[in-house]
Amino acid sequence: MLTEINFDGIVGPSHNYAGLSLGNLASTRNFGKVSAPRAAALQGLAKMRANLDRGLVQGFFLPQRRPDTDWLGQLGMTVENADPRLRANAMSASSMWAANAATVSPAPDTADGRCHLTVANLVTMPHRSHEWREALAQLRIAFADPEHFVVHAPVPPPFGDEGAANHMRLCASHDAPGIEVFVYGEAGGPYPARQHREASAAVARLHGLDPERTILAQQSEEAIAAGAFHNDVVAVANERILFTHEHAYTRRDWLYAELREKLPEIEIVEIPASEVSLFDAIQSYLFNAQLVTLPSGEAALILPTEAQESPTVWRWLEKLVSGNGPIRHLFIHDLRESMANGGGPACLRLRVVADPATVDPRFLATTDKLDRIEALVNRMWPDRIAVEDLSDPAIWKQCLAARSALCATLGLEELDRERF
């Protein structure tokens, strides 16, 4: 009964381009542009709907309460008198990138035979550092069945943990024991590493993983300096396939040898830098695709339109699927609003291998539920937000009202009442 469920973050009504994410080149490049929260949410919902149509199991997480007045209160401020930069941090919709919500180890990998989830602390970036409390609350509701799940509080600071964006699982099939790869970083040029080795090792211990089936690999400083602030910007894995850039890892040959020893059936699809540069890979978010297994058993990449618009990237992808390799299909989605803030298809989702019957059904997508969410988004999400609008009380009220209505629509009023 175990299957992979993709839980996408619903894009929140405060989605904006305040340029808060150092090292995320798209975020800094688009600072000050006018965002389109309604279009952003609809683009994400369209991807979820398409995945349902493809026969995949789809879930979602709700946007968090914004502005986060509790966080500002801890800083001795109110939303009315906050410094504009701190107010922007309190208005960030970055929880939409659910890949950073937690790290997940499915039941076949853990010592107690339960699925373990550790919420990410996200301490490196101020605008994300206050997400973990509400993320933890949602995880504890969605995965409340103690027979099947264990939800852990975050690793304590100062050890930075940014969740599944720096974690890969390789296995013969989703319900078989896997090899879990934790990718950590050191500083890359002017940019900080967001995933610390100590945090990755702590999560592996908390989840009760077999050390012989666990790998800690260092992301290359070259990749971080080029703008790969997470591993999922330069690599993605699914079942027996690792799809990666040649310059993703510091000890690439060692990593490949370890994987081949521990999972002989692995298929490593590596793109040489001579064919696709790190710059082109990061600009197009080629590796931030979702790599999924279709009901037919074939592997597919769910890609942003930017990958199709890059001549070198698209030429390589067409060659990939025309050959005899393990990846057989390419699906393109318009996620421009998320992409402009530095998050592609893989950023928007957290993968959980579980029996869907053990998950709180309020977090599982159906066509009818997506219809209702879409109607609400069209009715209540702001059409446009400029950075200067973040100081407008009318925007604060609209964002809070829209989220409250979503909680009510999905029967998750407890998330609206609870303070984090």
What is the tens place of the pLDDT at every residue in 214-234? 999 999 999 999 989 899 999
CATH code assigned to 3-417: 3.75.10.20
Residue 27 pLDDT: 86
Place of tokens 């510091």: 250
The mean predicted confidence, pLDDT, of the chain is 96
Predicted TM-score of the model (pTM): 0.97
DSSP conformation letters of 66-135: SS-HHHHHHTT--TTTS-HHHHHHHH--GGG-GGGTEEEE-GGGBTTSSEEEEE---TTSHHHHT-HHHH
**Whole-number Å distance between alpha carbons of 160 and 195:** 5
Judge whether residue 291 has pLDDT over 90: yes
**Whole-number Å distance between alpha carbons of 406 and 94:** 17
Place of tokens 């040898």: 257
- The catalytic position among 4, 134, 207, 347 is 347
Of the pLDDT bands very low, low, confident and very high (cuts 50, 70, 90), residue 420 is low
Judge whether residue 189 has pLDDT over 80: no
Active site residue 347: yes
Judge whether residue 157 has pLDDT over 70: yes
Average pLDDT on 172-190 reads 92
Q: Which residue would you say has higher pLDDT here, 62 or 418?
A: 62
Active site residue 127: no
What is the tens place of the pLDDT at every residue in 60-93? 999 999 999 999 999 999 999 999 999 999 999 9
Active site residue 230: yes
Average pLDDT on 388-405 reads 98
- The catalytic position among 15, 196, 207, 230 is 230
Residue 172 pLDDT: 97
Judge whether residue 187 has pLDDT over 80: no
Q: Determine what percent of the chain falls in helix, strand and coil, rounding each to the nearest 5.
A: 40, 20, 40
What is the tens place of the pLDDT at every residue in 355-371? 999 999 999 999 999 99
Domain extents in the chain: 3-417
- The catalytic position among 4, 162, 239, 337 is 162
